Copies of this chain bind each other. A is one copy, B any other.
Amino acid sequence: MKGLKGALMFAQSGGPTSVINASAAGVFIEGLKSEMITEVYGAAHGIRGILNEEFYDISKEDMEELLLLKNTPSSALGSVRYKLKDASVDDTDYKRLLEVFKKYNVRYFFYNGGNDSMDTCNKISKYMAKSGYEMNVIGVPKTIDNDLFGTDHCPGFASAAKYIATSIMEINLDAKVYDTPMICVIEVMGRNAGWLTAAAQLANAKGLGADLIYLPEVAFDVNKFVADVKDVMAKNNNKCIAVVSEGIKNADGVLVCEALGEAGARDSFGHAQLGGVAATLSNIVKAETGSKVRAIELSLMQRCAAHCASATDVEETFEAGKQAVRAAVNGETDKMVCYARAEGEEYKCEYKLLPLELAANTEKTVPMEWIINNGTGISDEFVKYALPLIQGEVNMKKEDGLPRFAKLKKVLATKK
């Protein structure tokens, strides 16, 4: 059954990526073209913008700027980490959402985010269906972590992986420049899934990678780590590059950055604020070896370095946004757009739909059989999987030798 004629609401959630706005561009451009869609709204700071009736009228934007969104990192509309309660416990927010949707005749809602956001999206979809308000709700995936269930890969992952592999190749050349001992510990994002850390293996495949790679999928033992580093140093002309996930945990499941480093804050989802594990491990190996040690956090750069994005990722992410709108207009609801790899030798991405409840809150981690060398290496299976995704260079618009990112007018929709 086709959707009703009405307004489109799009919102971004969670940690941004360097290509997240490509989905926004896809949703907006497809939405503005559709005869079924009367208005195109972009919510300021995710779900909160809807609750507060703060959303932008996208028809007021220039098409050229909407296209520049494809290469503009971070959530252009603003993001949020806001957890909706279960409607059975407290339905205040849901009632308010329904009120706003009705007031603005919003018949299409798209939520762009990771696991938590797909859960939020699923809850909203269920509530609206139960309340009898006819609308179609589609999740648009987004996460550098690549940990969403049911999709071959996630929008944003490949660009972060490309930046990480490129940077590790460059760091590898730099770190080996002196003929003196040198240990380099590089920290990569990833709470429970080691996909991004595994991207170091793409650099290894080019002969300029890491000697040791530690994923959160395997329990981390600091004594073994020190022994591993010493072993590499002995074999490798006193040089060692180790890449660690910020999310590595000890055998008791305690984050290494909490067990050995400073205890961090927690966000509104109860997730620990990660980071600092490279510095902690560096201090330990420095004390143990006396070598020069450098701790490098790829920090925010790995999720916002749009200048080093994968063109494949950008185009797929843009298409994911368009596919979401087409699906919703054609009557699909309570689904997430996902990627499938077409059969055959040549890489080709196909777009499918997955029930939201399957995507919500299920984390897909790196297959254990891809983790080799006693938990310090990644197999070629990963390279075969990830290499097609990082292909292609973005032809980013530049101005004075620097990126020309999208400048949105952000005209608030007229209050109704």
A residues near B, CB below 8 A? 16, 18, 45, 48, 72-75, 78-81, 162, 165-167, 169-171, 173-179, 184, 202-203, 205-206, 208, 265, 273, 275, 279, 292, 294, 296-297, 299-301, 303-308, 310, 387, 390-393, 398-403, 405
Contact = CB atoms under 8 A, between A and B. Distances in A.
Contact of A392 (B79, B294, B299, B401): B401
A174 B74 contact: yes
B398 A393 contact: yes
A179 B307 contact: no
23 contacts: A72-B173, A73-B174, A74-B170, A74-B173, A74-B177, A81-B178, A166-B307, A167-B301, A167-B305, A169-B403, A170-B305, A174-B300, A202-B402, A265-B292, A275-B294, A296-B297, A296-B300, A297-B297, A301-B301, A308-B308, A310-B401, A391-B400, A391-B401
A191 to B, nearest CB: 16
A287 B292 CA distance: 30
B166 A403 contact: yes
Contacts of A307: 166, 170, 308
A198 to B, nearest CB: 15
Contacts of A179: 45, 48, 78, 80
Contact of A300 (B18, B265, B294, B400): B294
Contacts of A405: 169, 173, 208
A307 B48 CA distance: 38
B48 A170 contact: no
A177 B167 CA distance: 24
A405 B165 CA distance: 13
A292 to B, nearest CB: 7
- Of all A-B residue pairs in the complex, the 6 with the closest CB atoms, nearest first, are A74-B173, A174-B304, A170-B304, A390-B401, A74-B174, A391-B401
